[in-house]
Amino acid sequence: MAQMGNLQKAAILVSALPEDVSVHIFKKLKEHEIEKLIKAILSLEAPSKEVVKEVLEDAYEHLQEISPLRIAPDHLKKILEKALPQELLQKLLDQTFDEQEGKAIFTELEKLDSKMVANLIKDEHPQVIALILSQLKPSKAAEILQYIPKRVGVTNVQEEVIKRIASIEKISSQTLKVVANTLEEELLTIGADNEQSLSGIDIAAEIVNSLPKELQMDLLEEVRKDDEVLAENIEERMFKFEDILKLDNRAIIEILKNVDKNDLMMALKGAPEEILNKFLSNMSKRAAEMFLEDMEVLGPVKKSDVEKAQKKIIDEIKNLINKGVIEFGSGEEYL
């Protein structure tokens, strides 16, 4: 056992299992995996009972480590088929099983090397690439996007992908099934009730935020040439008022130096307590007390005035970010 490789163990395991179970295993394997396993089985010398027993025990322990207390989906489906009416069963299978399997697949995709994923999808239509990246974490999507060729012929692929992500509102299960069939790795459908509501603009903005600053500017400029409104919408969402919580204390101090005090008071009137405390903690004790007293004097304010003030603060923060005075997003090059 100590000198035996995993392929040999797999060959012994498959040979020792009941025929119907082995058939099921082979159906789940890829062609190159089947070829390797067949060669290993055919080259096997008859193992002793002790070796077979150790292989089975080893496999059992490994499976326990991978998925403790988890019932296999196929087994669970068989249980539900016997317990539930057909209509309810089908609804659960469509909504729950497909959703969970889909999430698991995209979770696995997150773990893959970004360059490898880019190579896998780079020849797809920009809309297909956009759908795939929209299902990943923005930071991961940004890494992958950088490895996508910038231009194919006259098309700026990176620009097209960002524009299409920003235009996403809902993705039907059927559409994602079609996308799944184009990938080497089988990506399954996600989302309950056959549709998943998304804010494509927000996803696009987070992805652009995660790109190095130079690439951010180039990409937005390319988008602006074709659709100025879309570029502005993406830019507006690249920093939201709630994102102040993501800034470090040095950035908060710079903001306090550069924004109008009255605008900040108005903006913080409608803000979560955490954001108010973020600013107060970067003031002197006396300054914080005076700031709170002045806010009290303001009294009730219109929601529209608060939103207007928050926009002023956001504009000034974005100005500081663009000047490099404060940092937000990535700003780092990927090697």
> What pLDDT is attached to residue 284?
92
Q: Does domain 96-221 have CATH number 1.10.3720.10?
A: no
For the domain made up of 239-323, give the CATH fold. Answer: Annexin V; domain 1 (1.10.220)
User: Who's near 170: CB < 8 A, 6+ residues apart?
Assistant: 195, 196, 197, 198
> What pLDDT is attached to residue 281?
92
Q: pLDDT of the chain along its 335 residues, tens only?
A: 556 778 888 888 888 888 888 888 888 888 788 888 888 888 777 788 888 888 888 887 777 655 444 445 565 566 667 766 777 766 666 655 554 454 555 666 777 778 878 887 887 888 888 888 888 888 888 989 988 877 666 668 888 899 988 888 777 666 666 665 556 443 433 333 344 444 577 777 778 767 776 787 788 888 888 888 888 878 777 777 888 888 889 999 999 999 999 999 999 987 888 889 999 999 999 999 999 988 888 877 788 888 889 889 988 888 888 788 888 765 443 33
> What pLDDT is attached to residue 253?
93
Note whether 212 and 285 are within 8 A (CB).
no
> What pLDDT is attached to residue 283?
92
Topology agreement, domain 6-66 and domain 239-323: yes
Give the predicted TM-score (pTM) of the model. 0.39
Inter-axis angle of helices 261-269 and 273-280, nearest 10: 150
Q: Where are the domains of the chain?
A: 6-66, 96-221, 239-323
Q: Choose the CATH number for 6-66 among 3.30.565.10, 3.30.1490.20, 3.30.2270.10, 1.10.220.30.
A: 1.10.220.30
Residue whose structure tokens are 């196929």: 74
Note whether 242 and 272 are within 8 A (CB).
yes
> What pLDDT is attached to residue 241?
83
> Helix or strand or coil: residue 151?
strand
Q: What share of the chain is helix, strand, coil (3-state, %, to 5)?
A: 70, 5, 25
